Structure formats: structure tokens, C-alpha cells
């Protein structure tokens, strides 16, 4: 039995593409979840010392402006800020996992969620591109646009009525109505 929120009739290629998007969202959730776990590991630690060690490990000179910004950021971190970051990371991960599940199961609500959350990111991505075009920023922007347009395609496709449950009050054939 199919749920009323499930999209019947997706072609195998569409189903594979939807599952690819679901896998991407799941991967984003895992990544941010791991960042949250890393933030927990920094609680009650001297973040500046850890940041300096990380820069040394990566052979990045502390004389660089970006390295100084990183060290200043690490110096300003408090346990309260870390716990806030952990909560935000876990909440974001939960949203990504829910979206991934819904897309994997072809739920219409998940398509709306993916469309909305992707659309909200477009202005931020454009702002980042205006600060400077890089390969990473360009790939993220184009990838997000592709996902948003694919979700829009699925939402606007001709299966709108197919997802509605049957009421059982169909007109009998030959009744003249």
C-alpha cells in the first residue's frame, strides 16, 4: 500500500536521481554531525593551542592574515559558544537526515523541503561568488541550482492528482454524469 504522500509513477532514472540527491543530503548531514562531535571534543580545551597545532601540522605560517584570523577566532571560543554550535550542528544534521529519508522514500514534503532550503541558499551563494569566483563556490552554486530546478520539475510534474487518496465516491459508469 502506497502512502498518500508518496509520488507514484517515477521513472527509474528519476528515482535514481532523487536518491542521488537524498544521498548528497545525507552526506551533508553526516559532515555537519561530525563537526558537531568535533566541537564537543573542544569543550574544556584551549582551542587556541589546538588551532596553532593544526596550522603547524598543515604547514601554514602563522604570519598569514587568514591564519591570524583563525587563531583569533579560536582564542574567542568559549564553552558556551561551543555548546551552541553543537546544538545547531545536530539540529541541522537532523533536518538533512529527515530530508534525505523523505527524498529516498519519494515523499512530496521532502521535495518541497529540498526546494525551499535550496532556494534560500541561492542568495548566499551569489554573495560568495561576488566576493570571488572559485572552483568550489562555482560547483556548490551550480550543484544547488541543479537540485532546486530538479525539485521544481518534480513538484510541477503532471502527477499532482495521483498523490491524492481515493474517496471511493466515484461516479458509476453509465449514470449519465
The angle that helices 135-156 and 12-42 make with each other, rounded to 10 degrees, is 130
CB 105 within 8 A of CB 6: yes
CA distance 141 to 26: 18
pLDDT tens, residue by residue, 88-134:
999 999 999 999 999 999 999 999 999 999 999 999 999 999 999 99
pLDDT tens, residue by residue, 32-49:
999 999 999 988 888 888
- Return the CA Rg of the chain: 23
**DSSP per position, 43-108:** TTS-HHHHHHHHHHHTT--TTSHHHHHHHHHHHH--HHHHHHHHHHHHHHHHHHHHHHHHHHTTBH
Three-class secondary structure of residue 6 per DSSP: strand
CA distance 36 to 13: 35
Over pLDDT 90: what percentage of the chain? 59
- What pLDDT was estimated at residue 158? 56
- Which grid cell sits at 58? 598543515
- What pLDDT was estimated at residue 160? 45
Name residue 107's beta-bridge partners.
6
- What pLDDT was estimated at residue 12? 87
Amino acid at each position: 500500500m502506497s502512502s498518500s504522500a508518496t509520488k507514484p509513477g517515477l521513472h527509474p532514472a528519476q528515482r535514481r536521481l532523487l536518491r542521488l540527491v537524498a544521498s548528497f543530503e545525507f552526506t551533508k548531514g553526516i559532515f555537519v554531525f561530525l563537526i558537531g562531535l568535533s566541537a564537543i571534543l573542544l569543550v574544556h580545551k584551549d582551542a587556541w593551542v589546538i588551532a596553532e597545532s593544526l596550522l603547524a601540522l598543515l604547514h601554514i605560517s602563522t604570519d598569514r592574515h587568514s591564519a591570524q584570523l583563525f587563531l583569533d577566532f579560536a582564542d574567542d571560543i568559549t564553552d558556551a559558544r561551543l555548546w551552541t554550535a553543537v546544538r545547531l550542528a545536530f539540529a541541522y544534521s537532523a533536518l538533512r537526515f529527515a530530508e534525505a529519508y523523505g527524498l529516498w522514500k519519494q515523499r512530496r514534503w521532502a521535495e518541497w523541503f529540498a526546494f525551499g532550503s535550496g532556494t534560500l541558499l541561492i542568495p548566499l551563494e551569489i554573495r560568495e561568488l561576488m566576493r570571488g569566483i572559485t572552483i568550489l563556490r562555482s560547483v556548490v552554486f551550480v550543484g544547488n541550482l541543479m537540485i532546486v530546478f530538479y525539485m521544481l520539475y518534480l513538484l510541477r510534474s503532471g502527477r499532482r492528482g495521483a498523490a491524492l487518496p481515493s474517496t471511493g465516491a466515484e461516479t458509476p459508469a453509465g449514470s449519465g454524469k
